[in-house]
């Protein structure tokens, strides 16, 4: 049966994106949007394209690179699959998880069209299959080649990709490239440089479901997107019911988590039994590996089928837990943030956070794993103000100047060009962050700057980033303690404005959200307006909160919530107006 290229509710239009600076775009071949629509109908069985999809595809065909932010389930994969079939040359798809690669390859092969050929290249395939995949790619027999970013660090693989002359590169889960992202991955950092070695350079589309403005800017810069169109479509998920439950002690909080999980499992089972709901299971997120086991045992003591999941488990154990969760053989998985990408189960009925996440970015990504079938789902944060200190501890302090100086000297000795081409993959996350920090500092200090000057610039940059990280923890405090609509609060953080309270979150149900909604007439600046603060410098208005406050994302100080009185006193002015 024909279907839309995206599932779920129509994303709300967000206004025209600001094109990024860079070389003028060059149209790619002769394919047109009409050709793509025909392929969508005749090959993939899609009845129509969603607005965000059509805009992104048109931008690619016009020669732009694209950063596309679409909600989960809104059809991001179609945006590279459809033009990939139309354009001359194969499509290279960079995807971080082997399971995601397998799913995408399987779905493409199920199309049943001889022109839609696809294979995946990963460490999990046998050597014979790896060799056959490389030979097929080199011979031009593949339309889609899926691989993880670290594969491009392999000279043999990169040579084959160069010889294949791809027309399009799709970078999935693109927030992983950003040091601000909730799933930062060191192996993503060199992608932009490796793509630049392809001749002719293909168009690039970066795709993600959640990215706040700093993450979007970072992705565009680190992937070296050219003449980039940034297209953002509706973060809002109307079926998620957002709530916060306060607790006085750690024990009180954990008992409340167990009680709520048991109630949600019982509710889902009862609804399914009565034919009034789809059933499903849930996820409890915690901050440490130890707590996964503790809470899983507490849930099991209540008679629930519970399993723990964290990054320190053996791969076989993690795979088994994920399989049982997907198959509905467990009621609840208690997990760290390692239980993330690749979890695409449509009937997750609840996501509970037993500990405060490190940022609203992480929180919204994790609660977004609930209710992907469009049915109601609960997203509950269990909160104690004392928990914020744990997040600040995890963030750690600034790196030592001695370490930064050592990295700066190593990069200088290696040579700017050669060092970039030979950048190792699989770096420990801390070392990769240090290298990224030093390279960013070199760009600020100048390519000819001495290592000591680069290290000093890196120290200053690290402090700026620490302030940003601290501000994001404070934004989580603001979310937990706000009396305004919680969905409005989250969307404002992500750079999207919701005109009216959602009517479904706990503050909306309690009536406080409507009381504190800031009337548009009382807003001195439109959301998205550039402003300048006398102390914090330039920034962007992200949204308004209760009690006449405005939230601004400052370039050097992160998120700050200010009383609107700063406008009356001339401390906050539109960019260009400050003297």
- Could you read off the pLDDT of 123-168 as tens digits, one per residue? 778 888 888 998 998 888 999 999 988 888 888 999 999 999 999 9
User: Would the CATH topology of 33-232 be identical to that of 240-392?
Assistant: yes
DSSP 374: S
Neighbours of 476 (CB within 10 A): 24
- Could you read off the pLDDT of 477-520 as tens digits, one per residue? 999 999 889 998 998 888 888 888 999 999 999 988 876 666 66
- Could you read off the pLDDT of 247-269 as tens digits, one per residue? 999 999 999 999 999 999 999 99
Does the pLDDT of residue 245 top 90, yes or no? yes
Per-residue confidence at 6, pLDDT binned at 50, 70, 90? very low
The whole-number average pLDDT for the span 422-442 is 68
Minimum mean pLDDT range among 114-118, 180-184, 525-529, 536-540: 180-184
pLDDT at res. 181: 64
- Which range is most confident: 62-71, 298-307, 354-363, 455-464? 298-307
CATH architecture of the domain 518-579 equals Beta Barrel (2.40)
Question: Cα separation of 228 and 205, whole Å?
Answer: 9
Does the pLDDT of residue 26 top 90, yes or no? no
Q: What is the CATH number of domain 33-232?
A: 3.40.50.300
Higher pLDDT, 101 or 446: 101
Q: Domain extents for the chain?
A: 33-232, 240-392, 396-465, 518-579
Give the 3-state secondary structure of 456-480. Answer: HHHHHHHHHHHHHHHHHHHHHHHHH
Does the pLDDT of residue 420 top 70, yes or no? no
Question: Cα separation of 94 and 534, whole Å?
Answer: 43
Higher pLDDT, 208 or 422: 208
CB 372 within 8 A of CB 343: no
Residue 362 corresponds to which tokens in the numbers above?
């992480």
Cα–Cα separations (whole angstroms), residue 98 to 108, 122, 123, 360, 413: 16, 7, 9, 27, 36
Work out the burial of residue 558: count CB atoms within 10 Å of its CB; fewer than 13 is exposed, 13-18 middle, 19 or more buried.
buried
- Which range is most confident: 17-31, 172-186, 523-537? 523-537
The whole-number average pLDDT for the span 374-400 is 85
Residue 253 half-sphere exposure, CB side, CA atoms within 13 Å?
23
Minimum mean pLDDT range among 21-30, 293-302, 431-440, 463-472: 21-30
Work out the burial of residue 261: count CB atoms within 10 Å of its CB; fewer than 13 is exposed, 13-18 middle, 19 or more buried.
buried
Residue 573 corresponds to which tokens in the numbers above?
């002015």
The CATH homologous superfamily to which domain 240-392 belongs is: P-loop containing nucleotide triphosphate hydrolases (3.40.50.300)
Mean pLDDT of the chain: 85
């Amino acid at each position: 049966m024909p279907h839309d290229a995206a599932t779920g509710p129509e994303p709300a239009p967000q206004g025209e994106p600001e094109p990024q600076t860079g070389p003028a775009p060059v149209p790619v071949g002769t394919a047109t949007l009409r050709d793509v629509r025909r392929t969508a109908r005749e090959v993939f069985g899609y009845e129509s394209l969603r607005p965000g999809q059509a805009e992104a595809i048109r931008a690619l065909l016009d020669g732009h690179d694209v950063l596309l932010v679409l909600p989960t389930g809104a059809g991001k994969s179609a945006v590279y699959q459809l033009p990939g079939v139309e354009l001359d040359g194969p499509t290279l798809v960079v995807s971080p998880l082997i399971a995601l690669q397998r799913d995408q390859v399987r779905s493409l092969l199920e199309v049943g069209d001889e022109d839609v050929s696809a294979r995946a290249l990963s460490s999990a395939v046998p050597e014979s299959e790896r060799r056959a995949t490389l030979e097929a790619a080199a011979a031009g027999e593949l339309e889609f080649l899926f691989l993880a970013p670290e594969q491009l660090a392999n000279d043999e693989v990169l040579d084959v990709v160069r010889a294949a002359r791809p027309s399009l590169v799709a970078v999935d889960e693109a927030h992983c490239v950003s040091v601000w992202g909730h799933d930062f991955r060191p192996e993503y950092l060199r992608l932009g440089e490796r793509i630049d070695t392809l001749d002719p350079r293909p168009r690039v589309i970066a795709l993600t479901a959640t990215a706040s403005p700093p993450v979007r800017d970072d992705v565009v810069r680190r992937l070296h997107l050219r003449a980039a169109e940034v297209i953002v479509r509706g973060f809002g998920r109307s079926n998620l019911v957002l709530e916060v439950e306060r607790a006085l002690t750690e024990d009180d909080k954990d008992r409340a988590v167990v009680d709520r999980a048991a109630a949600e499992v019982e509710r889902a089972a009862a609804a399914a039994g009565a034919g009034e709901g789809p059933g499903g299971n849930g996820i409890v997120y915690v901050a440490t590996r130890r707590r996964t086991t503790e809470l899983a045992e507490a849930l099991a003591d209540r008679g629930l089928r519970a399993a723990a999941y964290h990054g320190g488990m053996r791969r076989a154990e993690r795979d088994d837990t994920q399989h049982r969760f997907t198959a509905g053989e467990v009621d609840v998985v208690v997990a760290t943030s390692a239980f993330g990408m690749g979890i695409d189960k449509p009937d997750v009925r609840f996501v509970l956070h037993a500990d405060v996440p490190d940022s609203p970015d992480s929180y919204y990504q994790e609660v977004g794993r609930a209710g992907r079938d469009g049915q109601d789902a609960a997203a509950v944060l269990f909160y104690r103000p004392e928990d914020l200190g744990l997040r600040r501890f995890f963030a750690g302090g600034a790196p030592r100047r001695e370490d930064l100086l050592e990295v700066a000297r190593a990069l200088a000795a290696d040579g700017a060009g050669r060092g970039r081409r030979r950048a190792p993959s699989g770096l420990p996350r801390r070392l990769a962050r240090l290298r990224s920090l030093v390279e960013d500092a070199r760009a600020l200090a100048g390519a000819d700057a001495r290592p000591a000057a680069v290290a000093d610039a890196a120290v200053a940059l690290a402090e700026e980033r620490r302030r940003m990280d601290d501000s994001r923890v404070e934004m989580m405090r603001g979310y937990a303690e706000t009396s305004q609509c919680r969905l409005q609060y989250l969307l404002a953080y992500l750079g999207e404005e919701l005109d009216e309270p959602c009517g479904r979150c706990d503050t909306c149900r309690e009536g406080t959200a409507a009381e504190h909604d800031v009337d548009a007439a009382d807003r001195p600046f439109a959301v998205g307006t550039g402003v300048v603060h006398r102390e914090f410098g330039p920034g962007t208005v992200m949204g308004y909160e209760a009690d006449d406050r405005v939230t601004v994302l400052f370039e050097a100080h992160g998120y700050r919530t200010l009383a609107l009185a700063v406008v009356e006193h001339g401390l906050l002015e539109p960019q260009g107006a400050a003297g």
